[in-house]
Amino acid sequence: MRLSIAIVNWNTTNLLKQCLKSIAEFPPEGDYEIIVVDNASSDFDEVCFRSEFPDVCLIANSENVGYAKGNNQALAIAHGDYVLLLNPDTLVTAGALEALLSFMEKHPDAAAAGPRLIRPDGTVEQSVRSFPYPGPIAWEYLGLSKLFSKSWTFARYRMRPFSYTQESEVDQPMGSCLILSKQALDDVGLMDEDFPIFFNEVDWLYRAKQKGYKIYFTPTATVIHHGAASTRQVDRRIMLRESHESLVRFYNKHFRNVLPAPVYWLAILAIRLGVFFRR
């Protein structure tokens, strides 16, 4: 099978149905499958869903197991040479799936690639970031990235000067729509469930890079992204805290025994101060 599409849903069932219909309208060439993991959504009727989308493989969880574990459930049964992690609040456009597949087939060194994401009003989403190294993170949380938004030195974390019109090798495209090589998945492993909501794809991409794979952004594929449809249902302060705690977990996992102690602890301090002032 050429492609598996994995979608984790939580309380966004109407958007999920629109997403599935967009895939049916603009499918890739060749065989593909869709795996939907529902995390005990309050707006999800399993009987009606199975009746409306009989060809979709459905995993209906009895509780919300989180985004990382939900994706792992789908990845464990995926048959495709490539797996597309797709948020339910997206719509694929004409040729997007085929463009992503063709790109990956032409780049055997790629573990993953992200498309150009646009908002429903046509605005291009800033969907590419660097890995959260101490310098970029410090400038971000100290506010210098906004003050010097055209500087690659100060605005590197959110990649503010990045051009979304050309193919580029990058660190981390947004996980809202991210195509992965099954070969790389077998090599790198599944998502780390210690990152249940945030930074799970960042952790996976970082591990892939550590193994020598490349990560790309390609503007040849365009996907519409509503944005934060699930997370906005939760108190913003809770999501903000969880995001920052996940970043601290990332530092503990990847940088604690690598960075000089003063650099490590200064970065942690910048993260803690960042969440304090943003709250």
Bridge partner list, 225: 90
Q: Spell out the domains of the chain, with CATH numbers in brackets.
A: 3-127+164-230 (3.90.550.10)
Give the pLDDT confidence score for residue 235 in this predicted structure.
60
CB 194 within 8 A of CB 66: no
Which residue shows structure tokens 């966004």? 12
What would the two tokens of residue 278 be?
């943003």
What local confidence, expressed as pLDDT, does residue 228 receive? Answer: 59
Q: What is the pLDDT along the chain (279 residues), one digit of tens a residue?
A: 999 999 999 999 999 999 999 999 999 999 999 999 999 999 999 999 999 999 999 999 999 999 999 999 999 999 999 999 999 999 999 999 999 999 999 999 999 999 999 999 999 999 999 999 988 888 887 788 888 888 888 889 999 999 999 999 999 999 999 999 999 999 999 999 999 889 999 999 999 999 999 999 999 999 999 975 555 555 667 777 788 889 989 999 999 888 888 888 888 887 777 665 555
Residue 177 and residue 225 in contact, taking contact as beta carbons nearer than 8 Å:
yes
Q: How many CB atoms lie within 10 A of CB 114?
A: 26
